[in-house]
């Protein structure tokens, strides 16, 4: 059974390698669809690995080694469930996007109207900015928001991850 769990971990390593490699090499237009397909391809890899084919006389058959497959699948699924929220928080986080934009602005800062993506987001942006200010990531000066050293560190770190994965602007 340990080998089955190890194979589940290896299947997840393949998932990460393909995900990171393709997202870094070229922009992927529909990332979610790609990740779903990649997930199913890894599951198919496990099905193939834990299926025994046998030939006897004029007939052949195949048997799925169900317990081993389930162990591998659960190992893969646990890692996948831990990883996907991390990935999507980097890809779609409005808060991280604001911090990255504030990094680009430097000590000049950015006024609130320029941080809002649209008028409907005013309340959301104001609440998130207040939360980031309370956490020590930024401060407000003359109606403009400026990052603290802590905020610059977070923004640079996640900005590098977004560039590495070729996620582009937004958040």
Which residues form the domain of 18?
2-92
Is residue 21 a part of any domain in this protein?
Answer: yes
- Give Cα 7 distance to the centre of its chain: 22
Is residue 169 a part of any domain in this protein?
Answer: no
Residue 94's alpha-carbon distances to 107, 111, 133, 140, in angstroms, are 21, 16, 15, 18
> Are 13 and 63 within one domain?
yes
Is residue 159 a part of any domain in this protein?
Answer: yes
Task: Give yes or no for a contact between 154 and 137, defined as CB atoms under 8 angstroms apart.
Answer: yes
Mapping DSSP onto H, E and C, the string for 102-126 reads HHHHHHHCEEHHHHCCCHHHHHHHH
Q: How many domains does the chain have?
A: 2
User: What is the reported pTM?
Assistant: 0.63
> Which regions of 59-150 does DSSP assign to beta strands (E)?
59-64, 110-111, 138-141, 144-147
> Are 73 and 86 within one domain?
yes
Residuewise pLDDT in 10s, the chain (171 residues): 789 999 999 999 999 999 999 888 887 777 888 999 999 999 999 998 888 776 666 666 677 788 889 999 999 999 999 999 888 888 777 778 778 888 888 888 888 777 766 655 677 778 788 888 888 999 988 888 999 999 999 999 988 888 888 877 665
Give me the CATH number covering residue 117: 1.10.10.10
> Are 127 and 69 within one domain?
no
């Amino acid at each position: 059974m340990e080998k089955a769990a190890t194979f589940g971990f290896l299947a997840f390593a393949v998932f990460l390698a393909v995900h990171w490699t393709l997202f870094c090499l070229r922009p992927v237009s529909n990332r979610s669809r790609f990740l779903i397909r990649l997930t199913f391809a890894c599951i198919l890899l496990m099905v193939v690995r834990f299926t025994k084919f046998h030939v006897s006389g004029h007939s052949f058959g195949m048997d799925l080694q169900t317990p081993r497959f389930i162990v591998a699948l659960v190992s893969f699924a646990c890692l996948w469930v831990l990883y996907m929220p991390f990935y999507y928080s980097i890809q779609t986080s409005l808060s991280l996007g604001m911090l990255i934009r504030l990094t680009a602005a430097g000590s000049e800062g950015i006024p609130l109207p320029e941080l809002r993506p649209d008028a409907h987001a005013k309340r959301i942006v104001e609440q998130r900015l207040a939360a980031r200010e309370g956490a020590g990531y930024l401060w407000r000066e003359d109606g403009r928001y400026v990052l603290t050293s802590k905020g610059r560190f977070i923004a640079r770190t996640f900005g590098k991850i977004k560039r590495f994965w070729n996620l582009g602007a937004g958040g």
